[in-house]
Structure 1
Amino acid sequence: MVRARVAQLTGVYAVSALGRGADAQLAGALAGAPAFGPVDRFDTAARRVTVAATLPEVGSLPDELAAAIDAACRAAGLDSARRAGCALLLAVHGGPALAAGPTPTVLAGQLAARCGLSGHTRVYTSACVSASTAVADAAARITSGDVERVVVAAGYLVESDQFALFDAGRALAVDGAVRPFSAGRRGLLLGDGVAAVVLESSTDRRRGVHPVATVAGWGRAGDAFHPCQPEPGGTGLARAVDAALRRAGLPPQAVGYVNANATGTAQSDAAEAAALHRAFGGYAAEVPVSSTKSVHGHALEASGLLELVVTALALRQGELPVNAGWLGADDSCPLNVVTNRPRRTEATHALTLNAAFGGANTALLVGVG
């Protein structure tokens, strides 16, 4: 009997205002202490909001991405021979933020050469589902037998252009806190995020590396409701969740945790709650839910990868991250939100969800054990 191929996470690395390294992300998410503070990277004097979750000392985005890729490869035990021929899927912003540097396509080629990845490259600039879409593509290629391993990297460092756009659009939280699913939530806050992961086929066991987790399922769906506003019923996101579960051959009750996209904005959080009820039925009121954006902020194109790393590590440790900023229940978000302290779990599967402007939705299902 031939064993089905699965996509394993064999090396992970991430950086955010919570610290450097994957362990720092998990520790910060479990502590539930938000990393938001005054922005001193650029002038915010003309802005309504002046805070974000930024690293105190940070290199250029290319340097941070190269360091993350190298660290993830080393964690996976990839020597130069095993890096050769390995594809790089890169999720970054494709607009003005990179105007002073290389285009995303050129950047991907430079990073591949710099880190010894001599396979093909592909870039993803589809806003807040960029990284999660890249992971889905990588998992699909591995499980279909097209490739043995893929490196997925993603990065966003808070900069003035996107900060100004979100501030002008009144999307940033004027009270300086992200409060997903909570009564009194005022909006999102941006945050630095750079991450890299190595995904490999289950057939490669030669190095004795223990997988962190598997990408058991993935789903993508669009609803095309509005350029910026989410579809209120959450139909697109629910279809993405359904697809991830079908691909894994699992029922909703197998999901022991959801790291939600929840940004702390009124409409998107309510739509996501509706999506979970649509996808899970009565189980939506039971499954533990939180959004780690409440502590590390919204890393835009990198969000999906940063949150995948946190979700996989939390599931492996058996502790679910805190939904920080909680003020009280909101009738539009009837969910089992993890508040106050981390919650112990013996669950073996978790979902991490992402959504983007234009109605793009993704769901990644990770498993351990």
Structure 2
Amino acid sequence: MADRTVVITGLGVTSAFGRGEEALGRGLAASRAAFGPVGRFATDRYRTGVAAVLPGSPDLDEELRRVVEEACEQAGLSPAERAQAPLLLGRHADPAVARGPLAVQGKSAISDTAAALARACGLLGAARTYTNACVAASTAVSEAAVRIRTGREDRVVVSAGYLVDEDNFALFSAGRALSPDGVLRSFSAGRKGLLLGDGVGAVVLESAQAAAARGARPLAVLSGWGLAGDAHHVCRPHPEGLGMARAIGAALDRAGLAPADIGYVNAHGTGTPANDSSESAALRLALGDAVDGIPVSSTKSLHGHSLEASGMLELAVTLLVLRSGELPVNANHSGPDDDCRLDLVLGSPRRVSPRHVLSLNAAFGGANTALVVSAP
């Protein structure tokens, strides 16, 4: 019988720490937040002038092409194998298109950018484009896994990207979601809000059988995934974390794991009061008493919130964690909060070498995703 276990064989990533896995790994290991003044646009009208951004004026389409190429090369895909792999893409709509005439908008579907990316990288084509906010990337990864597990595809390339732009900066500032002091304090007392950050990434997912047939060595196993909604509020999560808890439970069930099997949680942890307390409640509800012994951190406190690309950038973080055995810090912590009673990784990275890692994301409208990533 065919082995439809879903494995990850290639990774490409860019963050505010720089381009490539090594840059991201160095930034995480140094516990050095990548935030600094934004130079892409004037910020004097906004709550803060800080974000985690690459230098210069990077182009999102070019950055997406770069990470897809990196992932395919690391996976060792031949041109023929690329030509049989569809692309799933998570990204934000181009603000310039949204400001154009309706006739232009109608001829500039966001799916066109995915199709162009697939052609440029020699892939089968763009199967779907996701714009569902902060769960776009993790939803795309989940769908790719379903396609592979059910035998519809042998391999799928998933990519996602977001580069800090003024439209979203203004939106989050107007919603009073940006941290006014330019510090993101996930799960901490006195947390004041989130900070945005550049993030672009891609992975190659395959069935274990397809990978073995061509001699590819998996980086990790995507052993579980779960999606759930709570529809509690247009932008606030359910205070008891009900949707997130269901997503976690579904991911664990699919992976065949108990809560105590999880060795680390890479949390969504935006640093907003409502999100962090809701996510803490969800973890306690889904994992029970085991949560007290499971290390947790939000690496958004280091690389910022990459919106549609968050799930991809944080999937890259989980792969580095499995490889290095070091858990990244939950940075800028200024004291415990009774609503966030978790075993946070504080001060410096913690060496644990987990076997199974849980990565969480949530989005406006009550959407929640959970991925379980396991050592190969």
- The two structures have a TM-score, normalised by structure 1, of 0.97
Q: Supply the AA of the counterpart residue of 1:86.
A: A
- How much is the aligned-residue C-alpha RMSD, in angstroms? 1.4
Between the aligned partners of 1:159 and 1:39, the Cα distance in structure 2 is 10
**Equivalent in the alignment of 1:108:** 114
Which residue among 344, 347, 368 is the counterpart of 1:340? 347
Between the aligned partners of 1:247 and 1:175, the Cα distance in structure 2 is 41
Residue 136 (1) aligns with residue 142 (2): yes
- Tell me, yes or no, if the aligned pair for 2:164 and 2:196 is still in contact at 8 Å: yes
- Tell me, yes or no, if the aligned pair for 2:225 and 2:251 is still in contact at 8 Å: yes
How big is the shift at 1:59? 2.6
Paired residues for 1:196-275 under 5 Å:
196-204=202-210, 205-275=212-282
Residue 312 (1) aligns with residue 341 (2): no
Paired residues for 1:277-296 under 5 Å:
277-296=284-303
**Equivalent in the alignment of 2:166:** 160
> For residues 282-341 of structure 1, what are the alpha-carbon distances to aligned partners after superposition, in whole Å with 9 as ceiling and x for unaligned?
111110000010010000000000000111211222111111111111111000000111
Greater shift after overlay, 170-179 or 200-209? Answer: 200-209
> For residues 105-137 of structure 1, what are the alpha-carbon distances to aligned partners after superposition, in whole Å with 9 as ceiling and x for unaligned?
000110011110024421001000000000000
How big is the shift at 1:98? 5.0
Between the aligned partners of 1:294 and 1:103, the Cα distance in structure 2 is 33
> For residues 179-233 of structure 1, what are the alpha-carbon distances to aligned partners after superposition, in whole Å with 9 as ceiling and x for unaligned?
1101111110000011011001100224433211111000000000000111000
Between the aligned partners of 2:4 and 2:355, the Cα distance in structure 1 is 19
Between the aligned partners of 1:347 and 1:53, the Cα distance in structure 2 is 28
**Equivalent in the alignment of 2:17:** 18
- Equivalent position SS for 1:364: strand
1:343 to 1:97, Cα distance in 2 relative to 1, 3 A: farther
Residue 187 (1) aligns with residue 197 (2): no
1:368 to 1:97, Cα distance in 2 relative to 1, 3 A: farther
1:46 to 1:119, Cα distance in 2 relative to 1, 3 A: closer
Q: How many residue pairs end up in the alignment?
A: 368
Q: Supply the AA of the counterpart residue of 2:27.
A: G
- Tell me, yes or no, if the aligned pair for 1:212 and 1:313 is still in contact at 8 Å: no
- Tell me, yes or no, if the aligned pair for 2:53 and 2:197 is still in contact at 8 Å: yes
Between the aligned partners of 1:172 and 1:96, the Cα distance in structure 2 is 20
- Tell me, yes or no, if the aligned pair for 1:112 and 1:121 is still in contact at 8 Å: no
Q: Which runs of 4+ in 1 moved over 4 A?
A: none
Paired residues for 1:78-89 under 5 Å:
78-89=77-88
- The two structures have a TM-score, normalised by structure 2, of 0.95
Q: Supply the AA of the counterpart residue of 1:135.
A: V
Between the aligned partners of 2:173 and 2:126, the Cα distance in structure 1 is 37
- Equivalent position SS for 1:203: helix
Between the aligned partners of 1:226 and 1:150, the Cα distance in structure 2 is 33
Q: Supply the AA of the counterpart residue of 2:59.
A: S
Greater shift after overlay, 199-208 or 127-136? Answer: 199-208
- Tell me, yes or no, if the aligned pair for 1:108 and 1:123 is still in contact at 8 Å: yes
How big is the shift at 1:97? 5.8
Residue 126 (1) aligns with residue 125 (2): no
- Equivalent position SS for 2:235: coil
**Equivalent in the alignment of 1:93:** 92
**Equivalent in the alignment of 2:52:** 53
> For residues 62-97 of structure 1, what are the alpha-carbon distances to aligned partners after superposition, in whole Å with 9 as ceiling and x for unaligned?
111111111111111112111002100000113636
- Equivalent position SS for 1:66: helix
Greater shift after overlay, 336-345 or 118-127? Answer: 118-127
Between the aligned partners of 1:277 and 1:339, the Cα distance in structure 2 is 19
- Equivalent position SS for 2:323: helix
1:58 to 1:21, Cα distance in 2 relative to 1, 3 A: farther
Identity %, equivalent residues: 55
Q: Supply the AA of the counterpart residue of 2:83.
A: A
> For residues 265-298 of structure 1, what are the alpha-carbon distances to aligned partners after superposition, in whole Å with 9 as ceiling and x for unaligned?
0111000000000001111111000001001000
Between the aligned partners of 1:228 and 1:64, the Cα distance in structure 2 is 29
> For residues 30-74 of structure 1, what are the alpha-carbon distances to aligned partners after superposition, in whole Å with 9 as ceiling and x for unaligned?
221110000000111211211100000343111111111111111
Structure 2 portions without partners, runs of 5+: none
How big is the shift at 1:363? 0.1
**Equivalent in the alignment of 1:68:** 67
- Equivalent position SS for 2:9: strand
Structure 1 portions without partners, runs of 5+: none
